[in-house]
Structure 1
């Protein structure tokens, strides 16, 4: 009952123009009240002759100047502003009317008074039942998507947890092994660098010590000779002075002897060692060594396990294949080995980046690299010409112990090979194939990853394979596992 009374009171103090509680209420001569701003705007738009306006409710005319403040209505509005007439969820908090409509533009449930207000004028309005049915379908779609997203997030979280567990497991999995291998490799490389630097330091110090000893011995010998020469000169001086002080006969007796001795006695100038001409020690290029090592570490991230392909290599020439697929050695049972024989490895490569290493420690005659497999085990009069890029081979090799070559076009006396100068003979050779970039690079792992040679713009036409030829070597040559 009290609520209905309050509703009636609220209707009495609601502005007929804006349908809101009146602000600064004023009354006309006919007794109707309005917001001051609302009735002012209405008068400006409907003013007639001599300042006469019409009441928006009863259409009775009035003078704008006759408007008077309605303090009683203002007091009621002030009291109602602090009250909640309808706490129920299905009633409008502002107007107290039932919420039967839905504004699609604002996404709000409204009452019929809200619909007529300026706030929702011109908006897309529908009944709440119709809007509920429409949005129920949309919400079902949203719910379905969210549930799918939740499952995906749970799977991703599980994958991350599994990934974290696998990394934490350390030595029990390949990822842990890879990190551990990289840690050990870094430690080993820097240990080798320190050993190399210590050895270089000791070598230079020993060289300087020996040089100092040689110089001091030479100077001591020169000092000894000068002492002897000084003694002879002093003896001759004494002899001449004695003759000059003696009698005439004494002066003339064997007078030519001191004169001849004086002529033959010439001071011998000792060998000296000027400091300004000494050679300054050139320190090793540590920055370059570290850059080479970093490049090697980067390509080693693309390590692949290479084995020989038994189906292709089972009965090739003068070689025997070990069971593990990793070792090659010459076999004296056959004498038909021709210099173009070789082995293809697996995997077959058609894309991506791949790196492997070959141990050539005990071999002094070998070819290795990448091949498309053309002309394999075919006898040619000129075997060198077959190892060219235009024949599907990108290889380097060693012949006659220290003669290193790249089988590529050159401007030397041999246009089919390019001589390579290696300061450190390789014991392990790394091969890096970047199929997408069309490059094949060879690294001297023994010399901190020094780049031996790089083929660019390789015209790969399909599958390419790791290639190795032990030639006439009688020792096994293994493809290496990742290790330090």
Structure 2
């Protein structure tokens, strides 16, 4: 019982301030306090009252969340304390369970601890056997493996952080380009609607001008037909008159007929016809503008349709 007090005191010295248990993978932060790596990682992931660097759970000094420093010496102390605790328990005095003798040897092939009697037994006599300190090389190998694994874990974390930053950058680019496409096509849609309204208004104007010129043409043709019909009637009557009546004012009648020239009106003026012919050219120019706009936008977005 007397040996339990120093061990208990040591346990308190190497306990984690967060979980209150023995330190597991102890790490040291900027202020010098030690914590379990897992406990400190979870502590940093917990949202605090304000943004910024996290504060030490003990002294409240700020520290870098990614600046954990592994404390290998403290880890070794924790391991030694665990071995002391295991050796101080009843029934764990290092005696052979079969012969009750002290365990001195280690069989590498069977991975079993042996006493002197077990060492001379037939099943272990031909095996490679070391003294009890054989655990040392294995402990060194374990430590080497731990260091390699921790280094690879840190490399994976660095890769994860780098790739997450890259993904965030790419997502930001996608969002920016999406907004650009939305705004540019909204502008194009507004432009097309304006052109659509302008072309419809122009077509309605052309239609109105055509109908107006048609009405004017009909009135002109009707007037000409009426005047020519009156002359025709007058001449037919003159032709049927007697010689004395026919000769009366015959010169004036013939002069009026010869001086009357038939006007050949056009239903649609040349200017109006040219305006109608220009419509396909306007549509073609609009199509070219749309093509240039889309090509420029695709080039800016590095998009190949």
What's the TM-score, normalizing by structure 1? 0.29
Q: Which has the higher contact order (CA 8 A, sep 6+)?
A: 1
Query: Would you tell me which structure has more strand in proportion to its own residues?
Result: 1
Query: Would you tell me which structure has more helix in proportion to its own residues?
Result: 2
